[in-house]
Structure formats: structure tokens, C-alpha cells
Structure 1
């Protein structure tokens, strides 16, 4: 009886005041094909794209925030990467006649930076994160040399520069070196959290000239303000830098809802399965946040990897795939062929034992290619 009552209570959690689940007509308008049949690559089909789910917790994103949603037309109007004027601060080659980000910024790349050690299990393999992001966006993704962090005080970590880092103006490099990354360390457990503001300031100082954006990825836990339990990360969108942590993506760990430093190993799991889940969760976070830096807002139209999430459980339950609305946005921005992109993603999912994702893509390709 208790279980049934709990399920009933969860099912009755309302959307935040003012929010209504989009109707099929509103979703069609968001896709930009209200009065015509969309091309097959953006056809919803059957059982591919579920409606955005009801909140299951008062902490779910749409139980807290009333988002209007970004339509395809909104994306075209708002996206600075599609402007014929060069974006402020960009020093790379610019083609004002370009129709896609690759044509407009032919040297442009997404850069990823390993912040700390990714060689310790169960960290996700960094080369796989690069591979997935490149297949997802179909634009070049490169890694900067890993940055080592060493404790330099009771509440600070020193950013150890690598000689292979991109050259900077002398004043900028000196300024970056003088800024230690603030942290908080629990004396009893030894648990460390880095402050995101300090990391973002450091990233601004090493942003490569040909970068569309630079994202630092870390296994360190992160926080923003003192009351925070943690933050998954933070982006400085106008400065094109971001930092995100995979620390709490380990499926064997449990975390306190009161104390930031209180975490423990809740269960055991074979290392292969543990690493597979961490990789899946990490890949989804990476492309979600990179898409934000490329101008894609949260999705309210379908169950989609661009949905907002208010907590880790909600994040883990969300789809790894783009809905038709956001797929069309990125296809326009990056200029990719939808079928080819799915084929490359399928190879990634198969090679890395992401069976559910591979099954979905295989079904989608069969639908697009009209094969049984």
C-alpha cells in the first residue's frame, strides 16, 4: 500500500504554474513545418520521440521553471553563430557569406580540456568523449594538454601550466598564473570541491584562437556558492568557456542531501558496467552543455537530451538523443547529413556497449531508409 501511495503522489506532481505541455500543433510549429510535411529526417514517426514527461519530483526542472521553449525559427533569429557579423572576441578566419558554422568559421573547433587526472578508474576515457562529441556535432573536436592541479593552500589549488598550452600574451599568461583556483576541503573526509568561477577565469586565459568554445572536464567535484551541495558545472556563454564535472556520475556512489562532503560507496558493480554507465552519462552531459554554447536552449517539446534537469536522477533518466526540433537546429548550424550522423553515432554506441542507444538509432535508421 505504501508503494502504491508513493507512486500516486509522485504522479501528481504538477508542472510549475503557467507551464503547459506543448500540443502536437505547437511541436509542429516549433519544428517549422506547421503547414507542410517535414522531411523524413525530422518526421516524428512512431515510438521515437515521447512527449516531455510529467514531473516526478518537486525538484524536477519543469516543476520549478516555466520555460517557453526555443523554436527552430527562434534559433535562427537569436543564434550569434549564424550572424553575418563576426562575433566579438573571435580572432580566427571569418567568412561572412557562410551558411553554417563550418563555412563561417572554417578553422573553428570545439576544444576539450582534461582538468586533473582522467587515467584513474572509473573515469571515462577522454578520447571517447572527444570521439562522441565529434560524431554528435559533426565538427572538429580537439583536446588541449591535460592540466595538473596541486594544492597550494588550505583553500586553493594551483593550476600547473603545461609548456604545450597555446601561447598567450605575456600579461594574460602572468595574470592567469597568479590566480589560484579556490576550493573547499573537508578535513575529516578529505573531499575536495573546486570553485567554478576560478576555473572559468583560468579558461579565458588559455582560449585558443581557433576555438568556437573551450570546455574543461574534470573528475573533481564542483561548487559555485557556499550554500551549494554541488554544481554539475557552469558556462560563461559570452566568453565561450565552461567547466563540468563527472564526479557524481559514478553509479556506485550515494550523496547526502544536506552536506556537500558526505558521500559514500553505496553498492558494488563490475568495473566494465560502472565505466559504461559513467561514459553514457558523461557523453550526454558534454553534448548538452556544448550545444548550449552553440546557441541551443532547453527543450520543452519532447523527451530530448536538451531537456533541463533539476537533479541527478532526472538527468540520468532523460534521453540521449536529440528530438526533431533540436536536431534540425544543429543540422542547420553544423551543416551535417542527418543519416550519416546517425550512422556514425551507431558505430560509437555499438563499440562502447551502449545497447539501448544503439537499438534506438538502428530503428531510426531503418525508418529513415525505409527498411524493415
Structure 2
């Protein structure tokens, strides 16, 4: 018997949120940015998206992925902030002063501590610092970029590939607004001790002082980190995080036509998000959100629960239709162990999927009796509904 993908729509639990319009239609919100996404950090709710899965060269935003790899090494204790990495001739020539691009101006063949290289890369987009970090961690930038792609896949960036640590143009390097929002959430949540480096106001190295290049930090919207960038023939990018009244939003704007448009559209998205939505709990912690069928078990189904409350943000201006469905490969094969991840919950607002979270089994289901297993096997070909009716009838007889 081959497992099948199962879906269960959960209209009843969400009936109180049903309405007539989508968020964008209700509020009339639009953005000039070709690709953008706005995400509530706490709940993971997508408040707005526009062509968010379009593959685009990330440019300097790739340095956030570089930072993630370095942060993971720091957290694992493999390196420390004071670990010295030598700035190679390659890093100096391709990314330092001779390159004419953004640089920390680290001295060639001289050591620099990891903590300062991170600041040079994230505060002033230093390409020399990015290459030095890549070579220090990976041996070569090529090896390091493979680690970047592997980590990207591991944290859920399914539509991203990396070929270098700097974001220099490469036809094989791309990401999406959605993936970059996932990266931002991961960095903020996983590395709270290192995230503040993004907001450092300035750095000074080789007697050269430079201010933070991220203009979002000074836009009066509560921004506290991540990156901006530019890619020739593509446009201006922004990946930002901002906090107002205890709520954090993640914004991504890709391929804006000008620096002004990048700033204005990122700011507009954040302001709209903070002003337009309220938090709604649709399932409490440990509340059963659905049931999965079980083959060969003492019970024909098992309850599914999330690991936290299921919360989405909905427009303050009015109700809208919210639907959810449970997705899993089933039926599950007995025995089933409590706490096993077997599926996911997908929540949709209008036509937009706003939340996806894993679901876990609520209890153990041991292997059933010979009668249970024979009944499951014999009735499988007759369909799920027939099998369920037969098992319920048999249970009544046994009582």
C-alpha cells in the first residue's frame, strides 16, 4: 500500500474569521517594488507578498547568508569573535581598496579578528571582510559557498543557491524575497547574541571610519538590522527588520528602480503592516487541529497538534476568509509514537498562504489486534470511508 497525500479542511474552527475580502483588496495596498514580502516575525504570518518566489540575484544581501554560516561556527564553539583570520591577497585585491567597491580596508596579509570582520561585512558591506571570513571558515570561498547553500536548504530556503560570500554577480547565484525573509527570521531567532552587530552605527579600521550603510536604520520606523544592496541591471534591494510596540516585522524589497524607491517602498510596507493588522489565535497550544488516519493500529486515527498556538494576523479594517488544512502522507503505519512530526498545517487568507507549521501526533497508537489489521488490509481497496464505518461498527459489537 502506497501512502497518499491527505488533506483536511478546517472550516468550522475558523468560521468566526470568515468574511468577504482579501487583505490587499480590503486595504487597496500596493507596492512599486517588482518583488516584495512582509512577514510578522512572531507568528510567521505573511501580511503581503508580490512575486515573492521570483529568482533574483541577491547582491549584497548574500552577506547575510555568509553571516549565518559564521554565526553557526561561533555558536558551535569552532571559532570565537577574537579568532584571527588573515586577509589574503585574494581578499584584498578582489574585495579591498584596489577593487573600488565597498570595503573594510583590511590590510593585506595581516590578521583581523572574526568579530571585526563581521562588523566590516555587515555594517559597511566590506567585500574584503566577506572573502576573508569565507576563506577562514571554508578554506576557499568556493568551499564556503557550498556551505552557504547547504545551510540555506537546511533552514528552509528552498529556492536559493550561493556561489560566493560577497554577492558578486554570478549566473548561478540567486534567491527570492520569500527565502530571504526566512533567512532574516532564522538569524534573529537563532543568534540573538550576534544579531546586534547589524545595527552598529560605524566601524573604524586602518584609521578609516565608516558609517553604517543601511539607510533603513535611520528611517524612523524602528529598524534594527540586516542589509541593503544593489545589483547592476537588476536594481536596489532591502532586507530589513523593524520593531514597534513589541511587534517585529520582516520586510524584503527586491529590484527597486532607485535608492529612493527602495527606501520608500520598504518604509511604506512596514508602516502599513504595523498599522493595519491585529493578532488572532485560531488554535490554542496543544489543541487538536485535525486527525490523521492510521493503518494497522488499535485506533483508526490519531490526533494532530502543533508545538505552539496557531496565531495569524488579520486586517483591522474588517474580517476576511481564513481557511486551514492539514496535509500529511497517510495513512500512517502503526505503531505511531506520540510527538512524531507527521504533517503540517497550512493557513490561507484569501488566496495567500500566510502560515505553515509542523504537526505532531497527540498520542501513541500501538499495533492493533489481528482483527484490526485484517480489517484495515481487507477494506483498504474499498476506500477510507467504508473502512472507517466498518471499524466503528466492529467496535460497537465488541462493546
Q: Shared fold (TM-score greater than 0.5)?
A: no
Please tell me whether Structure 1 or Structure 2 has the larger radius of gyration of its CA atoms: 2
Q: Is the strand fraction higher in 1 or 2?
A: 2
Q: TM-score scaled to structure 2, two decimals?
A: 0.22
TM-score, normalisation: structure 1:
0.23
